[in-house]
Amino acid sequence: MADARRMGKSELFAHFADRFEMKRTQARDFFDELAVLAEKELKRAGEFVLPGMVKLVVQKRKARMGRNPATGEAIKIPAKTVVKAKIVKQLKDTVLPRK
């Protein structure tokens, strides 16, 4: 099985710096700007797509009834807005084995 250790930010920046012959700080700046752009687009349009990888979508959840798992008591869960990530089918099919 492959190494279970996940790639950290430093390794990610180093990979892109080596692959595209740039400084690590430039690679970091690229990802920082990508995060800023995603935030702006989520606020403006409610979604942001990273082609071939993921689609981020702002979703409004209605208030609902739930249960406290510790006590079993019924509780009211308030309405809230969340950001949901949807992995694109192509990536999902490549990574996950078919059943």
Q: Are 52 and 82 part of one and the same domain?
A: yes
* Distance, C-alpha 76 to centroid of its chain: 28
Mean pLDDT of all residues in the chain? 93
Collect all residues with Cβ–Cβ distance below 8 Å to 64 and sequence separation of at least 6: 76, 77
The pTM for the full model equals 0.77
Q: Are 66 and 26 part of one and the same domain?
A: no
Q: Are 25 and 39 part of one and the same domain?
A: yes
Q: Are 73 and 93 part of one and the same domain?
A: yes
Q: Are 39 and 65 part of one and the same domain?
A: no
Encode 50-83 in three state secondary structure: ECCCEEEEEEEECCEEEECCCCCCEEEECCEEEE
Give pLDDT tens digits for 21-44: 999 999 999 999 999 999 999 999
Q: Are 60 and 20 part of one and the same domain?
A: no
Q: Are 11 and 34 part of one and the same domain?
A: yes
Q: Are 81 and 33 part of one and the same domain?
A: no
**CA-closest candidate to residue 90, choices 53, 57, 55, 56:** 53
